[in-house]
């Protein structure tokens, strides 16, 4: 007996991930149901055409980035969906904020998950290092076959030790490694998050005014980096209502800065008119009340008076400038702390352009949320699978690194995992490309 793998989407692109593992009796696991990164806002009917919606399946979401879960609202209502508990809260929060459909119930595990029985498959989630919180690698076992799905991962963030522990003590005798390859042949910065902290501290000490920073609210590694930099430089970190909501959703004992904990006195929450209206429209007056009750709420006018590190993005900047309350000036600095592809250097409304026009110092301080080529090669070598099935990348045809035997699939192409040969690795005749 064996298993059949179908990568419905992801063999030729980054994002929009959707992978199926099927047993011979027809039971199926779907790993991720991601929204393509290039899909227009509001577009529907985006599930891969090869994904059979007429048959039962169980779904597992690896982490709460929309390119891995954004299409769960299009799945059949009777398909059970599983994710990490913190991931479920973040996905539900994001869906509510954008008005997207989201399942009424999701089954969850905590970050110290035991082995799970999901749809007849033995599933072990391994918390890993990624720019998204609560990201997991997934070991799937059935019929004597072991499949390891990396999801998205890296080995240079604040949870890098989890990847090292996995390589040292994790499962062996992997039959198939489904590995992401976002950064193959990429020039994206791959430096440790701790190195970014040092750069932010240096900047905060060099600039007399405020530091405006554009970063993702769900990149909690970056939030921790900025909070630590603020404390070390004698400043405060000011986040928006949404980021405060993300932090308040975190499990107890996470160590994340939270506005409702006295320990994190350098954290403030700016209550802006636009987000306050949005939370009221969502029926989330409870969040507004909770933030106000912490005593950490601040206003635009108050923020303008001290040298804080201030969360910024285009929509927030419009709120800052309303009534000429809070504007970026020549004594300030602006930092883009996200993927450079999101940096809009031509739009006069963008924070980057406005900061430049104001004479503010501008910096790019970021590191990738994905493993660099060297770490991808090391991970594949250490796990030593019989087959490596490439996903979530565009340079797999000529990856530029040494890899175990590669089984290159096309989107929607079913592949029946060969039974184990007498030696650990298959032969060329069994149908793989050693590229």
* 246, 164: one domain: no
* 150, 220: one domain: no
Q: Is residue 128 part of a domain?
A: yes
Q: SS3 for 140? A: strand
The reported pLDDT for the residue numbered 432 is: 32
The reported pLDDT for the residue numbered 341 is: 82
Question: Where are the strands (E) in 85-207, listed by range?
Answer: 107-109, 116-118, 121-127, 136-142, 145-149, 176-180
Q: Which of 330, 364, 398 marks a domain boundary?
A: 364
Q: Is residue 298 part of a domain?
A: yes
Write down the number of H helices and E strands in the chain. Answer: 12, 20
In terms of Cβ atoms closer than 10 Å to its own Cβ (0-12, 13-18, 19+), residue 191 is middle
Per residue in 75-91, pLDDT tens? 999 999 999 999 999 99
How many separate domains does the chain show?
A: 2
Q: Is residue 251 part of a domain?
A: yes
Q: Which of 119-123, 173-177, 199-203, 262-266 has the lowest mean pLDDT?
A: 262-266
The span from the CA of 329 to the CA of 122, in Å, is 56
Q: Which of 364, 393, 417 marks a domain boundary?
A: 364
* 320, 418: one domain: no
Read off the CATH number of the domain in which 155 is found. 3.60.15.10
* 302, 344: one domain: yes
Q: Is the backbone of residue 165 left (phi > 0), alpha (psi -120 to 50) or beta?
A: alpha
Q: Maximum distance among all alpha carbons in the chain?
A: 74
Q: Which of 96-100, 268-272, 323-327, 373-377 has the lowest mean pLDDT?
A: 323-327
* 200, 326: one domain: yes
Work out the average pLDDT over 408-413.
Answer: 98
The reported pLDDT for the residue numbered 422 is: 55
* 267, 341: one domain: yes
Q: Is residue 228 part of a domain?
A: yes
The reported pLDDT for the residue numbered 425 is: 45
Q: Is residue 435 part of a domain?
A: no
* 10, 108: one domain: yes
pLDDT class of 428 with cuts at 50, 70, 90: very low
pLDDT class of 47 with cuts at 50, 70, 90: very high
Q: Which domain holds residue 91?
A: 3-186+369-430
The span from the CA of 147 to the CA of 277, in Å, is 46
pLDDT class of 429 with cuts at 50, 70, 90: very low
Could you tell me the end-to-end alpha-carbon distance of the chain, in angstroms, rounded to an integer?
Answer: 28
* 56, 129: one domain: yes
Work out the average pLDDT over 288-305.
Answer: 91
- In the DSSP assignment, the letter for residue 64 is S
Per residue in 171-223, pLDDT tens? 999 999 999 999 998 888 889 999 999 999 999 999 999 999 999 999 999 99
* 212, 158: one domain: no
Q: Is the backbone of residue 32 left (phi > 0), alpha (psi -120 to 50) or beta?
A: left
Q: Which of 364, 389, 410 marks a domain boundary?
A: 364
In DSSP terms, 285 is beta-bridged to none
The span from the CA of 316 to the CA of 339, in Å, is 19
Q: Is residue 303 part of a domain?
A: yes
Kindly tell me if the per-residue pLDDT of 285 is higher than 80.
yes
State residue 231 phi and psi, 5-degree precision: -60, -45
Estimate to the nearest angstrom the gap between the alpha carbon of 366 and the chain centroid.
Answer: 15
State residue 197 phi and psi, 5-degree precision: -55, -45
Q: Is residue 302 part of a domain?
A: yes
The reported pLDDT for the residue numbered 304 is: 86
* Whether 28 contacts 55, CB under 8 Å: yes
- 40 vs 20: which has the higher pLDDT: 20
53 Cβ contact list (under 8 Å, min separation 6): 47, 75, 76
**Beta carbons within 10 angstroms of residue 37's beta carbon:** 14
- Structure-token pair, residue 410: 């096309």
Work out the average pLDDT over 158-183.
Answer: 97
User: Mean pLDDT of all residues in the chain?
Assistant: 93
Q: What is the percentage of the chain residues whose pLDDT exceeds 70?
A: 97
The reported pLDDT for the residue numbered 18 is: 99
* 321, 408: one domain: no
Alpha helices in 237-350 (DSSP H): 241-249, 273-281, 285-294, 300-304, 314-321
Work out the average pLDDT over 141-154.
Answer: 98
Read off the CATH number of the domain in which 359 is found. 3.40.50.10710
* 360, 413: one domain: no
Q: Which residues of 93-129 are buried (b: 16+ CB within 10 A; e: fewer)?
A: bbbbbeebebbeebebbebebeebebbebebbbbbbb
* 166, 218: one domain: no
The reported pLDDT for the residue numbered 321 is: 87
Work out the average pLDDT over 60-89.
Answer: 97
Q: Is residue 51 part of a domain?
A: yes
């Amino acid at each position: 007996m064996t298993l059949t793998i179908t990568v419905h989407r992801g063999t030729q692109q980054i994002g929009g991930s959707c992978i199926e593992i099927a047993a011979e009796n027809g039971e199926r696991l779907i790993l991720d149901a991601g929204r393509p990164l290039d899909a227009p806002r509001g577009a529907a009917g985006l599930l891969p055409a090869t994904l059979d919606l007429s048959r039962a399946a169980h779904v597992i979401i690896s982490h709460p980035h929309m390119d891995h879960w954004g299409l769960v609202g299009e799945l059949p209502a009777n398909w059970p969906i599983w994710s990490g508990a913190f991931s479920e809260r973040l996905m539900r929060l994001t869906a509510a904020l954008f008005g997207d459909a989201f399942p009424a119930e999701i089954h969850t595990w905590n970050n110290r998950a035991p082995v799970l029985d999901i749809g007849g498959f033995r599933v072990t989630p391994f918390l890993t290092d990624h720019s998204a919180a609560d990201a997991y690698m997934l070991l799937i076992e059935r019929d004597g076959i072991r499949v390891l799905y990396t999801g998205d991962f890296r080995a240079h963030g604040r949870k890098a030790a989890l990847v090292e522990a996995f390589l040292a003590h994790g499962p062996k005798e992997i039959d198939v490694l489904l590995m992401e390859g976002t950064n193959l042949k990429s020039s994206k910065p791959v430096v440790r998050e701790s190195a970014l902290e040092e750069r932010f501290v240096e900047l905060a000490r060099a600039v007399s005014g405020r530091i405006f920073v554009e970063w993702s609210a769900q990149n909690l590694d970056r939030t921790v980096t900025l909070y630590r930099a603020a404390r070390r430089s004698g400043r405060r970190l000011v986040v928006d209502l949404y980021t405060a909501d993300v932090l308040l959703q975190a499990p107890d004992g996470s160590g994340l800065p939270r506005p409702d904990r006295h320990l994190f006195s350098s954290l403030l929450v700016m209550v802006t008119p636009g987000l306050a209206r949005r939370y009221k429209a969502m029926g989330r007056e409870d969040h507004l009340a909770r933030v106000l009750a912490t005593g950490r709420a601040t206003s635009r006018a108050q923020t303008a008076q001290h040298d804080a590190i201030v969360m910024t993005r285009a929509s927030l900047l419009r709120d800052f400038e309303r009534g000429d309350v809070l504007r970026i000036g020549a004594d300030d600095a602006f930092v883009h702390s996200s993927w450079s592809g999101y940096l809009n250097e031509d739009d006069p409304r963008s924070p980057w352009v406005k900061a430049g026009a104001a004479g503010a110092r501008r910096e790019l301080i970021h590191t990738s949320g994905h493993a660099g080529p060297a770490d991808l090669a090391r991970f594949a070598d250490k796990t030593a699978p019989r087959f490596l099935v490439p996903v979530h990348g565009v340079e797999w045809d000529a990856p530029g690194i040494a890899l175990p035997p590669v089984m290159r699939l096309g989107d929607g192409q079913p592949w029946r995992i060969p039974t184990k040969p007498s030696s650990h690795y298959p032969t060329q005749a069994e149908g793989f490309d050693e590229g």
